[in-house]
Structure 1
Amino acid sequence: MEIAIVDYKGGNVQSVLFALERLGVQATLTADHDVIRRADKVLFPGEGEAASAMRELRAQGLHELLPTLTQPFLGICLGMQLLGRHTQEGGGTELLGILPFDVVRFPATPEYKVPHMGWNNLQALRGPLFEGLSAEDYVYFVHSYYAPVGEYTIAEAAYPAPFSAAVQHENFYAAQFHTEKSGPVGTRILENFLKL
């Protein structure tokens, strides 16, 4: 099985490579369009800020390639947010437009600090990514922006109101949390993705 990790200088790549290695899977970190197009699975991890990520994706022509992919695709953290239409981050940035959501900032309150950082359980799970998991399972989040709950939502979390913890549209799956830092639960999600 050929697995491509999209290289757009999005950060957090080593953690994802190590998580796949623990599963006995080798992946190729690449921005090469042909390699990405022929891969059996594509991972799209990211940390950092959306505007600079989109600049890099545009510079490499990846903003045109990624929406055309037909194999199973998994966005992680910033990689999930970039699949939306628009983000409030940095005064506003147009995103890839693969999924019909706009990314918004958490409101800071005395009880709920921004960024949302730490372990949170998943709710309203559906679809093959979450086979064998339940609302008792916790995953690790670090984010200040989120996608609202919508028809594309396949898992929710709350901080304090519900938000999309994971989304799906056709072959595009994505998780706001860090699968590679979420212990056995994250490992199970990666294994389920590799079986798609």
Structure 2
Amino acid sequence: MNIVILDTNCANLLSLKLSIKKLGYQPIITTNSDIIKNADKLFIPGVGSASEIMKQLFMSNLIQVIKSISCPTLGICLGMQVFSSFSSESNGVKMLDIINTPVTLLNTQTLPLPHTGWNQIFFNQHHPLLHNIKTGSWFYFIHSYAFPVNKYTIAYTEYNMQFSSVIQKNNFFGVQFHPEKSGSLGSKLLFNFLEM
């Protein structure tokens, strides 16, 4: 199986690769469009700013490649947010518009930003990505922007407000948390995605 991690030049590339290797797979980190087009599973990790990740995708000529990809694709943190129509970060950034919903700054009132640390995800229906994971399970987050709860929301998290912590539209899946930093449950989620 061709497991591809998109090289978004972000800090969690190697930790994600190591987490996948521990599950018995051999992922490739690349921006090569031919390799990406032939992926069986594609990961889009992201740490940093919306403008920077979109700049990376533009410079690598990957925007249309990702939008037209048909294999199961998992966006992680900022990698999930690239599926949105627009991010309100940095006075506004146009995203891939795979999901026609904007990503906005969390309305945390007196709670600190970024939202950092362990928090729970909640869901009502069984989903293959969450197989053997219970509602109320804890995962590791670090972010300031998020998808609002919408029709593609699979699970949500509360941090003064509800936001989407797991989404799916067609072959595009997204998690706002970092499974590679979330211990055994994070490994379980990665395994579920790889075994779909």
Task: Give the deviation of 1:125 after TM superposition.
Answer: 5.0
Q: Which amino acid aligns with 1:157?
A: T
Unaligned runs of 5+ in 1: none
Q: Give the alignment's Cα RMSD to 1 decimal.
A: 1.0
Corresponding residue for residue 71 of structure 2: 71
Pairing 1:46–2:46 present:
yes
Superposed CA offset, 1:47-66 (max 9, x none): 00010111110111111110
Runs ≥4 residues deviating over 4 A: none
Residues 163/108 of structure 1: CA separation in 2 closer, same or farther (3 Å cut) = closer
1:65 counterpart SS class = helix
| Alignment TM-score, normalising by the size of structure 2 | 0.96
- Asked if the contact 2:107/2:161 (under 8 Å) is kept, the reply is no
Q: How many residues align?
A: 195
Distance in 2, Cα, partners of 1:178 & 1:148: 18
Pairing 1:141–2:144 present:
no
Q: Which amino acid aligns with 2:19?
A: A
Unaligned runs of 5+ in 2: none
Q: Which amino acid aligns with 2:116?
A: M
Aligned positions of 1:1-196 closer than 5 A: 1-110=1-110, 112-124=111-123, 126=125, 127-196=127-196
- Asked if the contact 1:125/1:156 (under 8 Å) is kept, the reply is no
Q: Which amino acid aligns with 1:123?
A: F
Distance in 2, Cα, partners of 1:10 & 1:153: 25
Aligned-pair identity (%): 37
- Asked if the contact 1:167/1:175 (under 8 Å) is kept, the reply is yes
